[in-house]
């Protein structure tokens, strides 16, 4: 019962403690920095434990959901704190937590300026993301959606690299502006429901049964779609992404690429395709076309980059094109492919950002023209880099291929021509990935470059776990696919009566 709110609140509390721990002494010392880091680590450990309890323990009164919580918040307007967990949100929350560990182990300890506040913001972002994955009250969802932006904005603006202000501002403008469009859509949906039934509510399950005219449902659906498209990102509105990913500190880049983008995909599944199935199927050709354009454009732009973080960022645009295409295929197979792609992309891209951040920490540049062959000096870091680059190019047997294959297969059912064009995106994928490998890792060392120390074995062990997960997702995806499916809307209504 209480598990779900605890899941959301724990990171915030832990972050608060971390902030205090970092501030105990007036002059920050390495010890106090480490205190904040330890608090963050313990918080993540407890959070993982809690999630494991929810996953493997039995939840009473959950109905069709895996876990359920509700209590009134603003009863006059029908707003409640309603948190529900199904397979999709569970797998995405697991992804978030799994990614936080490499982040904390490999990167946040290097933060020297105001480490307590950094860890607080980091954990607050995590709380916002987890809340977004759980909320089934539209108002609460919007609340969490905005909540995860603000700490991320501060993280980029305060701890980012050379052009951080501009990047943070672009990020904020795009996501905030599109969030407002979503708010209007939410209000429109609520008002339409009120007009039709006389009940004022923000409850997801109730609103899903709102009778809507085709035009109105299309309008509201597109309103939601814009917000999620900015987050995913879909090509015309992806402008914020390369700048934000490049300028953010490593930990924030990992959160952005690994999890924050997935809230867009999650939203599209839960609040577009499942809430407005008719409008979504009418909108599907446009969305799939945008997805395929994103695949090709992202891969192309990625080939043309010299900045390693920017290259990875554009490759995300390309991978998220597969997610968009898969979600709007209209078949279960496509949606499963999109979910697999989200999970695998989360792991592989986050690891690539960790590695890029480590390179920047050691060589103080992200420019691939100035980074030379690192294999001789840092074989561990380089082998991890080669592995994840190969995963990113869609090597069969690794996670990304599973998602891409299922999406392509589902697309082929709809339109073979479109699937062929999308599959052609795999060729530039090989180009950007191997160009990166041959410029950074397997290349002649630069003269005058002084590479730092390699990853110590402990950090390498963390990365090895991520590698193993990517390989498992590629070779044996069936169990993940079986449990990561979203709960169908039709099944939700049955459980509402059982809930208090």
Partner 1 sequence: MATFLLPLLVLCPLAASLIIFISAGRMGARGAGTVACAGIGVAAVLSIIVSVILLSGPTGGGLQVTLWPWVHVAGFSADIAFMLDRISMIMILVVTIVGLLIHVYAAGYMRDDPGIARFFGCMTLFVAAMLVLVLSSDLLCLFIGWEGVGLCSYLLIGFWYDNPANTAAARKAFYVTRVGDVALLCGLLLLATATGSPRIGAVLAAVTNGQVSASGISMAAFFILMGALAKSAQVPFQAWLPDAMAGPTPTSALIHAATMVTAGVYLIARLHDLFVMAAPVMALTAVLGTLTLLMGACAALVQSDLKRILAWSTISQVGYMFLALGCGVWQAALFHLMTHAFFKALLFLAAGAVIMRARHEQDIFRLGGLRHAMPGLTVAFVIGASALAGLPLVTAGFYSKEMILSGVWHVRFGLTRDWTVTGHPLWAMALLGAFLTALYIFRCVFIVFFGKAGTVAAGRTSRLMTIPLGCLCVLSLCGGVIEMPDTLPSLHLFSALLDPATPLSHADEPVWLVLAGAVVPLAGLALAWMLWGRPSSVMRGARTAGGPDGRHDVLSRWQDIPDRAGAAAGGLVRAASARVFAVRAGFLDMLARWSGRIGRWGARMLERLHNGRMRWYAAWIAGGLCMALAVAVLS
Residue 474 and residue 396: Cα distance in Å, rounded? Answer: 7
**Residue placing its CB nearer to partner 1 in the complex, 12 or 467:** 467
Among residues 208 and 302, whose Cβ is nearest to partner 1? 302
Who's near 467: CB < 8 A, 6+ residues apart?
351, 384, 387, 388
Decide: is 423 part of the binding site for partner 1 (CB under 8 A): yes
Q: Which is nearer to partner 1, 33 or 310 (CB)?
A: 310
Spatial contact of 371 and 289, defined as CB atoms under 8 Å apart = no
Q: How far is the CB of 91 from partner 1 (least distance, A)?
A: 16
Contact status: 426 vs partner 1 (CB under 8 A):
yes
Task: Please report whether residue 424 would count as binding partner 1 according to CB under 8 A.
Answer: yes
- Interacting stretch for partner 1, rule CB under 8 A, among 29-37, 69-77, 180-188, 423-431? 423-431
Choose which of 23, 161, 282, 435 interacts with partner 1 (CB under 8 A): 435
Coil, strand or helix: which one is 81? strand
434 binds partner 1 (CB under 8 A): yes
Does position 10 bind partner 1 by CB under 8 A? no
Site string for partner 1, 219-258 (x = CB under 8 A): --------------------x-------------------
C-alpha span between 430 and 111 (Å, rounded): 34
From the list 2-10, 78-86, 124-132, 402-410, the region that binds partner 1 by CB under 8 A is: 402-410
Of 383 and 493, which CB lies nearer to partner 1 in the complex structure?
383
What 3-state DSSP class applies to 67? strand
Give the position of tokens 């697309």: 411
CA dist., res. 374 & res. 360, Å (int)? 12
The footprint of partner 1 on residues 330-389 (CB under 8 A) is 331-333, 336, 373, 375, 379-380, 383
Q: In the complex, what is the shortest distance from the CB of residue 440 to partner 1, in angstroms, rounded to a whole number?
A: 11
Distance CA 55, CA 94 (A): 10
Give Cβ neighbours of residue 234 (< 8 Å, ≥ 6 apart): 290, 291, 294, 320, 321, 324
Find the binder of partner 1 among 3, 431, 471, 489 (CB under 8 A): 431
DSSP type of residue 307: B
Stretch that binds partner 1, among 211-219, 257-265, 274-282, 301-309 (CB under 8 A): 301-309
**Is residue 402 a contact residue for partner 1 (CB under 8 A)?**
yes
Interaction between residue 481 and partner 1 (CB under 8 A): yes
DSSP letter assigned to residue 275: T
CA distance 31 to 441: 35
State yes or no: residue 283 binds partner 1 (CB under 8 A).
Answer: no
Is residue 476 involved in binding partner 1 (CB under 8 A)?
Answer: yes
Which of 159, 441 has the CB closer to partner 1?
A: 441
- Which residue lies nearer to partner 1 by CB, 17 or 340? 340
Tell me how many residues contact partner 1 (CB under 8 A).
45
DSSP labels, 322-382: HHHHHHTT-SHHHHHHHHHHHHHHHHHHHHHHHHHHHHHHHHS--BTTT----TTT-HHHH
Part in contact with partner 1 (CB under 8 A); list of ranges 54-62, 90-98, 210-218, 415-423: 415-423
Give yes or no for residue 176 binding partner 1 (CB under 8 A): no
263: CB partners within 8 A, 6+ apart = 129, 132, 133, 145, 148, 228, 231
- Contact by Cβ (8 Å): 406, 480: no
Alpha helices in 160-260, H assignment, sequence order: 164-197, 204-207, 214-231, 240-247, 250-255
Answer yes or no whether residue 465 interacts with partner 1 by CB under 8 A.
no
How far apart, in whole angstroms, are the C-alpha atoms of residue 170 and residue 203?
32
CA distance 439 to 374: 9
Residue with tokens 């914020």, as numbered in its chain: 240
Q: Per CB under 8 A, does 301 bind partner 1? A: yes
Nearest Cα to 422, choosing from 328, 322, 303, 327?
322
Query: With b meaning 16 or more CB within 10 Å and e meaning fewer, what string describes 91-123?
Result: bbbbbbbbbbbbbbbbbbbebeebbbbbbbbbb
Stretch that binds partner 1, among 81-89, 218-226, 343-351, 440-448 (CB under 8 A): 440-448
CA distances from 94 to 72, 99, 133 (A): 28, 8, 11
Which window, 124-132, 138-146, 282-290, 325-333, contacts partner 1 (CB under 8 A)? Answer: 325-333
Q: How far is the CB of 313 from partner 1 (least distance, A)?
A: 14
Of 222 and 471, the one with the shorter C-beta distance to partner 1 is 471
Q: Specify the stretch interacting with partner 1 by CB under 8 A; choose among 40-48, 90-98, 245-253, 431-439.
A: 431-439
**Piece of the chain touching partner 1 by CB under 8 A; list 15-23, 201-209, 316-324, 413-421:** 413-421
Return the residue of 397, 488, 494, 498 that touches partner 1, per CB under 8 A. Answer: 397
We find the least distance from the C-beta atom of residue 16 to partner 1, in angstroms, to be: 38
Binding site for partner 1 (CB under 8 A): 239, 300-301, 303-304, 331-333, 336, 373, 375, 379-380, 383, 390, 395-397, 402, 405-406, 408-409, 412-413, 416, 419-420, 423-424, 426-427, 430-431, 434-435, 438, 442-444, 475-478, 481
């Amino acid at each position: 019962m209480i598990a779900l709110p605890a899941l959301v609140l724990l990171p915030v509390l832990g972050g608060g403690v971390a902030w205090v721990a970092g501030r105990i002494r007036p002059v920050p010392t390495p010890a106090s920095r480490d205190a904040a880091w330890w608090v963050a680590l313990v918080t993540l450990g407890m959070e993982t434990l809690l999630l494991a309890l929810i996953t493997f323990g039995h939840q009473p009164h959950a109905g069709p959901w895996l876990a359920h919580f509700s209590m009134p918040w603003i009863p006059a307007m029908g707003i409640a704190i309603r948190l529900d967990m199904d397979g999709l949100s569970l797998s995405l929350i697991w992804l978030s937590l799994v990614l936080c560990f490499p982040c904390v182990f490999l990167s946040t300890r290097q933060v020297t300026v105001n480490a307590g506040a950094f860890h607080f913001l980091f954990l607050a972002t995590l709380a916002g993301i987890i809340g977004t994955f759980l909320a089934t009250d539209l108002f609460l969802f919007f609340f969490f959606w905005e909540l995860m932006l603000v700490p991320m904005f501060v993280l980029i603006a305060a701890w980012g690299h050379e052009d951080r202000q501009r990047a943070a501002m672009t990020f904020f403008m795009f996501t905030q502006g599109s969030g407002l469009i979503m708010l209007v859509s939410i209000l429109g949906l609520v008002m339409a429901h009120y007009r039709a039934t006389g009940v004022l509510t923000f409850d997801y399950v109730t609103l899903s049964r709102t009778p809507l005219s085709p035009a109105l449902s299309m309008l509201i659906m597109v309103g939601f779609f814009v917000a999620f498209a900015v987050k995913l990102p879909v090509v015309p509105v992806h402008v914020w992404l390369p700048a934000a990913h490049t300028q953010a500190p490593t930990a924030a880049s990992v959160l952005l690429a690994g999890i924050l983008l997935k809230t867009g995909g999650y939203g599209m599944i839960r609040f577009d395709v499942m809430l407005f199935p008719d409008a979504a199927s009418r909108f599907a050709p446009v969305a799939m076309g945008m997805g395929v354009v994103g695949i090709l454009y992202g891969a192309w732009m990625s080939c043309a980059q010299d900045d390693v973080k920017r290259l990875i960022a554009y490759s995300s645009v390309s991978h998220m094109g597969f997610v968009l295409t898969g979600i709007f295929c209209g078949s279960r197979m496509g949606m499963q492919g999109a979910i697999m792609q989200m999970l695998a992309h989360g792991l592989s891209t986050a690891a690539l950002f960790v590695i890029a951040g480590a390179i920047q920490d050691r060589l103080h540049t992200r420019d691939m023209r100035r980074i030379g062959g690192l294999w001789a000096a840092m074989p561990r870091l380089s082998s991890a880099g080669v592995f994840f680059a190969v995963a990113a190019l869609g090597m069969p047997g690794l996670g990304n291929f599973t998602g891409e294959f299922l999406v392509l297969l589902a697309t082929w059912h709809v339109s073979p021509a479109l699937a062929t064009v999308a599959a052609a995106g795999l060729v530039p994928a090989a180009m950007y990935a191997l160009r990166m490998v041959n410029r950074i890792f397997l290349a002649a060392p630069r003269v005058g470059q002084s590479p730092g120390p390699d990853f110590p074995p402990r950090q390498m062990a963390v990365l090895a776990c991520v590698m193993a997960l990517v390989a498992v997702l590629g070779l044996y995806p069936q169990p993940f696919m079986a449990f990561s499916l979203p709960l169908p809307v039709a099944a939700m209504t049955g459980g509402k009566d059982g809930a208090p």
